[in-house]
Amino acid sequence: MIILGIETSCDETAASVVKDGREILSHVLATSAQMHIKTGGIIPEKAAREQVKSIIPVIEEALREAKLLVVGSETHNSQPTTYPKIDAIAVTYGPGLIGSLLVGVETAKTLSYLWSKPLVPVNHLVAHIYANWLSPKVKSSEPELPAIALVVSGGHTDLVYLKNHNQMEYIGGTRDDAAGEAFDKTARLLGLPYPGGPAIATAASHYPLPTTHYQPFLPRPMLDNDNYDFSFSGLKTAVLREVEKLKNNQQLNNLTIQQLSFEIQEAITDVLVEKSLRAVKQYRAKTFLLAGGVAANKRLTDKFKLAIGHLALDIDFRVPPPHLCTDNASSIAACAEFNYHPLPWRQISANPNLSIMN
Ligand code: KG4
Ligand code: ZN
């Protein structure tokens, strides 16, 4: 199938055309991120206003780039009518910011009605996992199921068992802050820009690699608990204490910021790797799928690869390229291909609080 994907859950306005859930024919994205850097975080109202301005141009560009926009013979208001040669439309209906979600959902409903195309509502969190099916991988090297998937994004940290497409079991998740949120909030405490994940990763990369005597000093929350849950809010409190101590001693400088960044990244990634691989062993998964914005973190993927080697796990480790880890519409279209449940447009509405299991 050829599916037009639409994604507007946060500060990105994205549209993509994907063939058979694997081949990206076009991938267009407009973002208001620069605007949010100035305010140190997303202002939902501003993000939604930008979405309204970008949505039609972005969709039109995605269809043109994929060479799927056909000019009809009729005219309307002296403009030729256009039709897209697509089989279906897929749209994120949650979770996310309500104002932003509404822009994508209502536009998709209108286009589905206008073009008489089936409309597939897609869970944004599940879609992150499907970035692992997108090109350049050829069909023969597609991820094999069952798999354990870890979705680590700005608002969610979920560990799921993917027995088959459409058959998912929730096995654990964060009890408070998400992994991305922990990066964003601690970066703010260190005076680093939004989004915090890439800022912390860059600062950490400048920290001279510690010797073998390196002593971790931040907590690794819930590492020893006998479950698959995570908790990152304690880490934020611990970082606040460290920052205050450094400020009082007039020692908050580039080097201490780099050291704290390094340690924050180590603390978050230690817990994610350890608990996910425990699940891989228990569920005898064939594949481990990393997904979501935080999956763009190189230290995280390096540590996964190292630990899989150390433990001699017979597992196929997959992670999408960085531009498919963060929010995008190609993942939405891929997810719809493998979980194809179109609904009448009247039955689709934005749900900002959707969980990965809805
Ligand atoms: O999935 P995503 O693009 O949006 C949501 O659905 O939330 O994830 C955004 C999150 C942010 O918290 C951001 O700081 C984090 O992903 N992130 C990273 C990196 N790139 C983005 N975290 C750590 N390292 C990165 N390189
Ligand atoms: Zn996301």
pLDDT number for residue 294:
98
Tens of pLDDT, residue by residue over 268-317, are 999 999 999 999 999 999 999 999 999 999 999 999 999 999 999 999 99
Residue 80 has a pLDDT of 72
Starting from the CA of residue 127, give the closest ligand. 2
Query: Residue 61 in contact with residue 15, Cβ under 8 Å?
Result: yes
Any ligand 1 atom below 6 A from CB of 197: yes
Distance CA 300, CA 272 (A): 8
Residue 10 beta carbon below 6 angstroms from any ligand 1 atom: yes
For CATH 3.30.420.40, the residue range(s) in the chain are 2-130+325-347, 139-319
The CATH number corresponding to 2-130+325-347 among 3.20.20.100, 3.40.225.10, 3.30.420.40, 1.10.3720.10 equals 3.30.420.40
CA atoms within 13 A on the CB side of 25: 24
In terms of Cβ atoms closer than 10 Å to its own Cβ (0-12, 13-18, 19+), residue 142 is: middle
d(CA 7, CA 27): 11
Residue 138's pLDDT is what?
A: 52
- Cβ–Cβ < 8 Å for 300, 269: yes
Query: Strands, E, within 137-204: which ranges?
Result: 147-152, 157-164, 167-173
Give me the pLDDT at residue 295, please: 97
How high does pLDDT run on average in the chain?
Answer: 93
- Using the mean position of ligand 1's atoms as its centre, give its distance from the Cα of residue 296 in Å: 7
Counting as low any pLDDT under 50, the low residues of the chain are: none
**Domain 139-319: homologous superfamily in CATH:** ATPase, nucleotide binding domain (3.30.420.40)
292 C-beta closer than 6 A to ligand 1: yes
Question: Looking at ligand 1, which atom is closest to the CA of residue 298?
Answer: 26
**Is residue 62 in contact with ligand 1, taking CB distance under 6 Å?**
no
Cα–Cα distance measured from residue 290 to residue 301, given in angstroms and rounded to the nearest whole number: 8
